[in-house]
Chains A and B, each alone.
Chain A
Amino acid sequence: MSKFAKLASFASLGLVIIPSLLYFAGSLELDAMKWAILVGTACWFIAATLWMSH
């Protein structure tokens, strides 16, 4: 469980960083990028809480 949560939390960080790079490269609209990093943020706090609370 903890291993999966760690993996999910790192993927969430990717969901925060990668959309910004895609926006920078002109491959993603600003609004879509904002929603993507918000989802990444929510996922990070759920996944990181699961393994960092132990």
Chain B
Amino acid sequence: MTNTSDADALTKSSSSEFERERVPDSALLGDSKFWGMYAGEHAAGTEFMIGPLFLAAGASLSDLILGLLLGNFLAVLTWRFLVVPIAMEKRLTLYYQLERIAGGSLVKFYNLVNGLLFCFLAGAMVTVSASAVGVPFGVVFDVPANMFGFSNWQFTSLVVIVGITIAVVAAGGYERVAHMANIAAPWMIAVFAVCGIVSLGQMQVTSLSAFSRGDFWSDAIAFVQEKNGPQTFSFWQIVVFAWLCNGAMHFGMADLSIFRFARNKSAGWAPAVGMFLGHYVAWISAALLLAALIKLTPELAIGADGKVSANPGVLAFQSLGWTGIICVVIAGWTTANPTIYRAGLAFQGIFPKSSRTAMTLVAGIVSTVAGAFPNLSAQLLGFVGTYGTVLGPMGAVIFVDFYLMKKFGLREEYAVHSHSRMNVAVMVAWLLPVAVGLYFILVQGLFAAYAVIPCWVVCAVMYLLLSKFIQKPNRF
């Protein structure tokens, strides 16, 4: 998942200069900037939440190790070969490209959806931070049975305090938080690795043979299944989740805004550092924290409802003490802050006359409300898949517009050439597959990440076909 770092500072400062124009050659950046940025961006608070969820969902250790390897590799390839070529050719932000293709009104609606999804992501981070802040005060993190149920009143109060604090800091200024995140990033990556090392030591898995036997893992899964009921999380679910949990960034082309500054195509390999430190080492380490907690103090792994729940604060505290608490708070805070900031900017795009401060506070309030429902953060595996399903298809529109429109005798960037504020072809091609995808996810119970690529492909085909019918050559 994402964290603030050089990229946000880079995107923010540069976007104000090149928001509606090509990035000039003088502003291009070398590869090292991108490597540093992605290293920090994917060592985020969400990793503490996602890692244990794999264990809680019943994934086997070998599936996790191999599945994450393959899925993260596919994610890196997608960034390199899908996003970077378009980003370097066009050198425009995602929003400006979309505006030229889809029209200003549709981009405003996209901004609203994007902003709301950002708020839910930030809400999960508020929950994560509150879980850590609560540990020294003995505040228990209960996950209610209902999706929209509150935890105990003490935890809910803590969420409100943490959420408001984060929102006020985000509204007050961005640079200080981005700077703090940059300083914390190398330390956080080290702490993530330490989580795994210490957890293995606590479980006395100190040899390769003990690790490969995997008894510590299968015992933990058996414990979870006994309390939570049987669940399975297959190899391919792990692969697809690791590949597409950042689907909005690569398939959805959000990182066009980052890679438009790339001087060389080789910068496209930079996400590898984020994937293999954040989405490999950190996820496995965080999962090991839960396995260690179950082995050593199983009573702490069980919530008030008698089920096993991943409480990031308790997990980190049991293995690393106060360093763990500091890491969870900083990781959650440095993720929530820029996410609320981005949501505020997205809302400001809808209401241009409003102040950024006011919109950031609105985003903070929505995030805090979302954070008060702990089940939303417990459903993070499903949420990030849904996030990619909803936003990913817009990347298909950009892909088709860039590679195929001219080949099929159609006008690319139709909205800007037809002076239209709403390209109906884009609207239908985006919303119809997404609606069907959401139906399968929310009603039929489809694993959310499975819907990302089908929705992307259907959107691409529909956009091409609808453009054939809708475009009027005499309008140019």
Do A and B interact? yes
* A23 and B187 within 8 A (CB): no
What is the CA–CA distance of A45 and B184 in the complex, to the nearest angstrom? 7
Number of interface residues of B (CB under 8 A): 21
A32 CB, min distance to chain B CBs, angstroms: 11
* B198 and A24 within 8 A (CB): yes
A7 within 8 A of B: no
B320 CB, min distance to chain A CBs, angstroms: 6
B199 CB, min distance to chain A CBs, angstroms: 10
Kindly specify which of B14-22, B42-50, B100-108, B188-196 makes contact with the partner chain: B188-196
Kindly specify which of B85-93, B115-123, B137-145, B321-329 makes contact with the partner chain: B321-329
B354 within 8 A of A: no
A22 CB, min distance to chain B CBs, angstroms: 9
Nearest residue (CB) in A for B200 is A24
Our pick among B197, B202, B323 for the contact of A41 (Cβ within 8 Å) is B323
* B198 and A53 within 8 A (CB): no
* B190 and A38 within 8 A (CB): no
What is the CA–CA distance of A52 and B321 in the complex, to the nearest angstrom? 27
Number of interface residues of A (CB under 8 A): 24
* A24 and B197 within 8 A (CB): yes
* A44 and B320 within 8 A (CB): no
A34 CB, min distance to chain B CBs, angstroms: 3
Dominant SS at the A interface?
helix
* B183 and A38 within 8 A (CB): no
Residue with the greatest number of chain A CB neighbours at <10 A, chosen from B201, B202, B206, B321: B201
A1 within 8 A of B: no
Nearest residue (CB) in B for A23 is B201
Please, what's the 1-or-0 string for B365-383, where 1 marks a CB less than 8 Å from any CB in chain A? 0000000000000000000
Q: Which residues of B contact A26 (CB under 8 A)?
A: 201, 206
B202 CB, min distance to chain A CBs, angstroms: 7
B181 CB, min distance to chain A CBs, angstroms: 11
Dominant SS at the B interface?
helix
What is the CA–CA distance of A30 and B318 in the complex, to the nearest angstrom? 10
* A20 and B197 within 8 A (CB): yes
Nearest residue (CB) in B for A16 is B190
* B190 and A34 within 8 A (CB): no
Our pick among A12, A21, A34, A45 for the contact of B321 (Cβ within 8 Å) is A34
* A37 and B201 within 8 A (CB): no
Residue with the greatest number of chain B CB neighbours at <10 A, chosen from A25, A35, A41: A41
Q: Which residues of B contact A17 (CB under 8 A)?
A: 190, 193-194
* B201 and A24 within 8 A (CB): yes
B321 CB, min distance to chain A CBs, angstroms: 3
* B187 and A16 within 8 A (CB): yes
* A24 and B206 within 8 A (CB): yes
B149 within 8 A of A: no
Nearest residue (CB) in B for A13 is B190
Residue with the greatest number of chain B CB neighbours at <10 A, chosen from A12, A23, A25: A23
A37 CB, min distance to chain B CBs, angstroms: 5
8 Å CB interface, B366-422 against A: none
* A45 and B187 within 8 A (CB): yes
What is the CA–CA distance of A20 and B353 in the complex, to the nearest angstrom? 53
A49 within 8 A of B: yes
What is the CA–CA distance of A39 and B190 in the complex, to the nearest angstrom? 14
Q: Which residues of A contact B201 (CB under 8 A)?
A: 20, 23-24, 26
What is the CA–CA distance of A16 and B190 in the complex, to the nearest angstrom? 7
* B190 and A33 within 8 A (CB): no
* B322 and A34 within 8 A (CB): yes
* B187 and A48 within 8 A (CB): yes
A20 CB, min distance to chain B CBs, angstroms: 4
Q: Which residues of A contact B184 (CB under 8 A)?
A: 45
* A37 and B187 within 8 A (CB): no
Please, what's the 1-or-0 string for B304-334, where 1 marks a CB less than 8 Å from any CB in chain A? 0000000000000000111100100000000
A2 CB, min distance to chain B CBs, angstroms: 14
List 15 other contacts, CB 8 Å, given A24-B200, A31-B321, A37-B194.
A16-B187, A16-B190, A16-B191, A20-B197, A23-B197, A23-B201, A24-B197, A34-B320, A34-B323, A41-B323, A44-B187, A45-B187, A52-B182, A52-B183, A53-B183
Binding site for A on B (CB under 8 A): 179, 182-184, 186-187, 190-191, 193-194, 197-198, 200-202, 206, 320-323, 326
List 7 contacting pairs A-B, 8 Å CB cutoff, sorted by A: A16-B191, A24-B200, A41-B187, A44-B187, A52-B179, A52-B183, A53-B179
